[in-house]
Structure 1
Amino acid sequence: MGIRCLIVDDSAAFLAAAERALSSQGISVVGVAQDGAQAIAGVDSLRPDVVLVDVYLGAESGFALAERIEADVRARRWAVQVILISSHDKDEMMDLLQDSPAVAFVDKAELSAQTIQGALEGGRT
């Protein structure tokens, strides 16, 4: 696959579990972040292909962070794709998802190398 991934979630337990699971499935997890500042720093220094961003990050929403990431990388003229993740129902946030620069939404329970690859190839899910 060769996908370089940064995972952003405020739960250290989820970050560890997702990193283990995705790494074992061939995704190169280049870093993790627990808030927006760490995420932007990670995007800038690690230059991942995709950033998995939890919709609910505490002080900052994943939607706002997705917009910040898009603006940051656009200013630097290179690309990264954002996939929003959550354990909450996609239907609850459909309007926000449609207005987001994220390429897709993936339920945390379905997070896998296959769902990431599918989201990157197929766009919005």
Structure 2
Amino acid sequence: MGMRCLIVDDSTAFLTAAERALASQGMAIVGVAHDSAQAMADIDALRPDVVLVDVYLGAESGFDLAERIEATAGERSWAVQVILISSHSRDEMVDLVHESPALAFVDKAELSARTIQDALNSTHDGSSA
């Protein structure tokens, strides 16, 4: 899988575990960020294809970060796709995710290269994640 991925979460333990797991499954993890400011800088510097954004970034909102990424899309020469992640269930997040510019949602307990690819594919074929 040649997809370049940036993971954004305020939990160092989660970032370490997710980076290891996804890399072992063939994803190219280009970086990890702990907050929105670092994520925005890393997007420009690392040019990821997909950004996994935790819904709750400490005092910040992953939804706000998804909106910032979308708002700056015209400044980039490549597409960045956002997938929101959370330990909260899909049912708790579905309305908020649909109102956001994020393409999909993946439960952290189900996070894998396959679920990321499936989420991206489902948004491209017209179904919802």
Whether the TM-score (by the shorter chain) exceeds 0.5 is: yes
The match for 1:37 is 37
Q: Secondary structure in 2 aligned to 1:78? A: coil
Residue deviations 1:2-38 (CA, integer Å, cap 9, x gap): 0100000000000000000000000000000000000
The match for 2:88 is 88
Q: Secondary structure in 2 aligned to 1:51? A: strand
Distance (whole Å) between structure 2 residues aligned to residue 93 and residue 113 of structure 1: 21
Q: Secondary structure in 2 aligned to 1:106? A: strand
- Give the unaligned 5+ runs of structure 1: none
Distance (whole Å) between structure 1 residues aligned to residue 32 and residue 11 of structure 2: 11
What's the TM-score once normalised by structure 2's chain length?
Answer: 0.93
The match for 2:53 is 53
Instruction: Note if 1:105 corresponds to 2:90.
Output: no
Q: Secondary structure in 2 aligned to 1:65? A: helix
Identity, % of aligned pairs?
Answer: 74
Distance (whole Å) between structure 2 residues aligned to residue 24 and residue 34 of structure 1: 21
Alpha-carbon shift at residue 113 of structure 1 (Å):
0.5
Residue deviations 1:64-122 (CA, integer Å, cap 9, x gap): 00010111223334310000000001222222111111110000000001001111111
- Give the unaligned 5+ runs of structure 2: none
Instruction: Note if 1:26 corresponds to 2:17.
Output: no
Distance (whole Å) between structure 2 residues aligned to residue 74 and residue 84 of structure 1: 21
Distance (whole Å) between structure 2 residues aligned to residue 26 and residue 78 of structure 1: 21
What's the TM-score once normalised by structure 1's chain length?
Answer: 0.96
Q: Secondary structure in 1 aligned to 2:48? A: coil
Question: In structure 2, what residue type is equivalent to 1:75?
Answer: E
Distance (whole Å) between structure 2 residues aligned to residue 80 and residue 23 of structure 1: 19
The match for 1:69 is 69
Question: In structure 1, what residue type is equivalent to 2:29?
Answer: V
Task: Note the aligned Cα RMSD (angstroms).
Answer: 1.0
Misfit runs of 4+, over 3 Å: none
Question: In structure 2, what residue type is equivalent to 1:50?
Answer: V
Question: In structure 1, what residue type is equivalent to 2:67?
Answer: E
Distance (whole Å) between structure 2 residues aligned to residue 77 and residue 3 of structure 1: 16
The match for 1:118 is 118
